[in-house]
Chain A
């Protein structure tokens, strides 16, 4: 294998940006293997300065950008926008606008469908998108809380349709907790658990709420009510439940 000076002296016009591209270039005999190795092992965390603008740019270009990646990008842009490098700051500010616009357009597209579709799934999708926007703007408090409140309002406006304890009520509880409306959340939680006492997600939400309100006995009580770990495949509640009920929290 030639050494990595190959990368510096290469006359190829094709510069792979991802490991997949480099591997494909190698398999087609266009690139030497150093490209693949370089991209595969030379990992620069996206949050770390100096920023890898090429990688950020590549992620931003993804049309099917998921919420986790978008949130990561927003964290980067939130820092970059304060950069002394005016071009970087401009890029960050414009990218924040672009990301917001992309997710707001998803909400608008979903809301357009609601007149002709009275079912719950598109409404849940609207709430999910609002929550994503709230998460994206978590470092911009006014806008973050605005989008969270839009999610809350949308739920309230559609509460006759959104009645599933797992998919709707538990989500509503999470929104209220994110908004730190603990009293209202407690009221909603009690009413929901009266109706669905064995619902695992509601029970865990009640435990989280109790934790947020610093009521540790209630946390343990709710988690003990969950019974053992879920039958069959374990679910996402098991770990926190075991933490609280097997005594690790007291160590």
Chain B
């Protein structure tokens, strides 16, 4: 074992190929812990994606696993021990008992023993056809088979991945990354740290529920699969971190052990944001910092603008963020602004240096339908800008459940009331802004977050 700590981060559909919250967080952690070597094991939907991040010098290895890649040739039938473990695991799952995934992984004699070769075994095949008879008897077996295949092929790839050597395996979600991390733990005998920003199975469940292409029983099937994978990850991780207590509670509900579950909240570069020199401008300026995508619900922000402008005609609204991720949605938003005849008071800035806006914004607004722990609230607070937010993720806790600054999703009327409160109570807002700034400096310093992860890595080294 080298002197330098070596951590393998395991990610799915994220860093270093996709920018955004999780990608930025990973990049920050790696760059902020130069005394630690990192390997990256990324799980991707397709090969040869362009890198969206320049890998820091302490990234010593990067392996990419394509989840949808077909395996070449006919697969070998697995050994009897593996088949027995597969049957036992499914039997436990269907009896609502904790399935022994580590037992299954330990039963393998070769890394890619789990695969379609299982179908060569009569007992495994009987289990598959029997599951269809018991669970979906009114439907064609072919439908069930292909649904099973598309779910399990990705699981087989994740469980058959070849992890780099490391002292600690750090999965940044459950799901397929979590399975790859369980495989790494089993194969290398090293500890597993699991960090979740959102909750993977909940996010997938939401996607499935609102999709019109996943039909009938297959909706429940996929939701059950994702729940089971998360439960396996929670039960077998050596440590788990959540961004906030509510998510930690949900991890405990699915089988995580309380003594292994920590909350480590995200942080921001407080020096950078608190150094903003405030120079308020005439009028009243309201900003939304975020990508122009449906999940940020920019249309509700525009609706708020319409309501507020009737009371404060010289207010200006800024949607500060890239517009190219969902061009159709951006076009709809522009049409809405034009239609409401507020184009002279509403600006889509595109990607910008937010610090320039934090210098003069009077209030920030987040109209998202989903968030984990929105850092823009903290950035604004550090810069001296108050925030109004929908009641999503950790936002209510961050805002001390203060109803003056919170509103249900898709409620422009209540959000507009909050804007008007900020506008109408400048004296009171001075004290609130100072409190928010202090809170950010004390509780949400990115340096503290990195130190906690460094300490956690060190404490876990040698475990497993």
Known: A13-B135, A93-B297. A57 touches B219 (CB 8 A): yes
Within 8 A of B (CB), among A167-187: none
Asked whether any CB of chain A lies closer than 8 Å to the CB of B411, the reply is yes
Asked whether any CB of chain B lies closer than 8 Å to the CB of A14, the reply is yes
Interface of chain B: mostly helix, strand, loop or mixed: helix
Asked whether any CB of chain A lies closer than 8 Å to the CB of B60, the reply is no
Within 8 A of A (CB), among B129-171: 131, 134-138
Among B94, B135, B336, B411, contact of A146 (Cβ-Cβ < 8 Å)? B336
Among A28, A57, A81, A98, contact of B411 (Cβ-Cβ < 8 Å)? A81
Complex contact A30–B137 (CB within 8 A)? yes
Within 8 A of B (CB), among A1-30: 12-14, 16-17, 21, 24-25, 28, 30
Complex contact A87–B134 (CB within 8 A)? no
B331 CB → nearest A CB, Å: 9
Complex contact B214–A61 (CB within 8 A)? yes
Known: A30-B137, A30-B138. A81 touches B306 (CB 8 A): no
Among A12, A21, A86, A140, contact of B410 (Cβ-Cβ < 8 Å)? A140
Smallest CB gap from B326: residue in A = A101
Asked whether any CB of chain A lies closer than 8 Å to the CB of B272, the reply is no
Which residues of chain B are within 8 angstroms of A24 by Cβ–Cβ distance?
138
A12 CB → nearest B CB, Å: 7
Asked whether any CB of chain B lies closer than 8 Å to the CB of A82, the reply is yes
Among A21, A63, A86, contact of B212 (Cβ-Cβ < 8 Å)? A63
Tell me the complex Cα distance, A98–B408, Å: 18
Tell me the complex Cα distance, A81–B408, Å: 7
Among A57, A61, A94, A108, contact of B370 (Cβ-Cβ < 8 Å)? A94
Complex contact B138–A81 (CB within 8 A)? no
Which residues of chain A are within 8 angstroms of B391 by Cβ–Cβ distance?
86, 89
- State which size class the interface on B falls in: 35 or more
- Of the listed residues A25, A62, A91, the one surrounded by the most CB atoms of chain B closer than 10 A to its CB is A91
Asked whether any CB of chain B lies closer than 8 Å to the CB of A193, the reply is no
Among A62, A93, A98, contact of B409 (Cβ-Cβ < 8 Å)? A93
Tell me the complex Cα distance, A62–B210, Å: 10
Smallest CB gap from B407: residue in A = A82
Tell me the complex Cα distance, A140–B202, Å: 27
Asked whether any CB of chain A lies closer than 8 Å to the CB of B378, the reply is no
Smallest CB gap from B412: residue in A = A142
Within 8 A of A (CB), among B364-390: 369-370
Asked whether any CB of chain A lies closer than 8 Å to the CB of B72, the reply is no
Within 8 A of A (CB), among B47-102: 94
Asked whether any CB of chain A lies closer than 8 Å to the CB of B339, the reply is yes
Interface flags for B191-225 (1: CB within 8 Å of A; 0: not) read 00000000000100010011111111101000000
- Of the listed residues B136, B213, B302, B369, the one surrounded by the most CB atoms of chain A closer than 10 A to its CB is B369
Complex contact A97–B295 (CB within 8 A)? yes
Tell me the complex Cα distance, A21–B135, Å: 13
Which residues of chain A are within 8 angstroms of B179 by Cβ–Cβ distance?
none
Smallest CB gap from B130: residue in A = A13
Smallest CB gap from B137: residue in A = A30
Which residues of chain B are within 8 angstroms of A21 by Cβ–Cβ distance?
138
A104 CB → nearest B CB, Å: 7
Among A92, A95, A97, contact of B297 (Cβ-Cβ < 8 Å)? A97
Which residues of chain A are within 8 angstroms of B134 by Cβ–Cβ distance?
12-14
Which residues of chain A are within 8 angstroms of B210 by Cβ–Cβ distance?
60, 94-95, 97-98
Tell me the complex Cα distance, A102–B335, Å: 18
Interface flags for B387-419 (1: CB within 8 Å of A; 0: not) read 000011000000000000000111110000000
Interface flags for A87-119 (1: CB within 8 Å of B; 0: not) read 101111111111001101000100000000000
Smallest CB gap from B307: residue in A = A142
Asked whether any CB of chain B lies closer than 8 Å to the CB of A149, the reply is yes
- Of the listed residues A63, A96, A142, the one surrounded by the most CB atoms of chain B closer than 10 A to its CB is A142
Which residues of chain B are within 8 angstroms of A149 by Cβ–Cβ distance?
339
Complex contact A28–B303 (CB within 8 A)? no
Complex contact B137–A90 (CB within 8 A)? no
B136 CB → nearest A CB, Å: 6
Interface flags for A58-78 (1: CB within 8 Å of B; 0: not) read 001111010000000000001
Which residues of chain B are within 8 angstroms of A224 by Cβ–Cβ distance?
none
Which residues of chain B are within 8 angstroms of A16 by Cβ–Cβ distance?
138
B201 CB → nearest A CB, Å: 12
Within 8 A of A (CB), among B305-333: 306-307, 328, 332
A103 CB → nearest B CB, Å: 12
Tell me the complex Cα distance, A149–B209, Å: 31
Asked whether any CB of chain B lies closer than 8 Å to the CB of A150, the reply is yes
Asked whether any CB of chain A lies closer than 8 Å to the CB of B294, the reply is yes
Asked whether any CB of chain A lies closer than 8 Å to the CB of B340, the reply is yes
Smallest CB gap from B396: residue in A = A86
Tell me the complex Cα distance, A78–B212, Å: 20
Complex contact B206–A91 (CB within 8 A)? yes
A241 CB → nearest B CB, Å: 36
B92 CB → nearest A CB, Å: 15
Known: A28-B138, A96-B410, A142-B412. A90 touches B392 (CB 8 A): yes
Which residues of chain B are within 8 angstroms of A92 by Cβ–Cβ distance?
409
B239 CB → nearest A CB, Å: 26
Tell me the complex Cα distance, A30–B339, Å: 56
Tell me the complex Cα distance, A137–B303, Å: 12
Which residues of chain A are within 8 angstroms of B408 by Cβ–Cβ distance?
81-82, 89
Among A87, A89, A91, A143, contact of B303 (Cβ-Cβ < 8 Å)? A143
Known: A108-B328, A143-B303, A146-B336. A61 touches B211 (CB 8 A): yes
Tell me the complex Cα distance, A12–B137, Å: 10
Within 8 A of A (CB), among B241-291: 246
Among B213, B299, B409, contact of A143 (Cβ-Cβ < 8 Å)? B299
Which residues of chain B are within 8 angstroms of A108 by Cβ–Cβ distance?
328
Tell me the complex Cα distance, A52–B284, Å: 44
Known: A60-B210, A97-B295. A90 touches B370 (CB 8 A): yes
Q: Shortest 3 CB-CB distances between A and B: which pairs?
A: A13-B135, A93-B369, A98-B210
Q: List 19 A-B contacts (CB under 8 A).
A: A13-B134, A24-B138, A60-B209, A61-B209, A61-B214, A61-B215, A63-B213, A86-B391, A89-B391, A90-B392, A91-B209, A93-B409, A97-B297, A102-B212, A104-B328, A104-B332, A142-B306, A142-B412, A143-B303
Known: A93-B409, A142-B302. 9 other contacts (CB 8 A): A13-B94, A16-B138, A25-B138, A60-B209, A94-B370, A101-B294, A104-B332, A140-B412, A142-B412
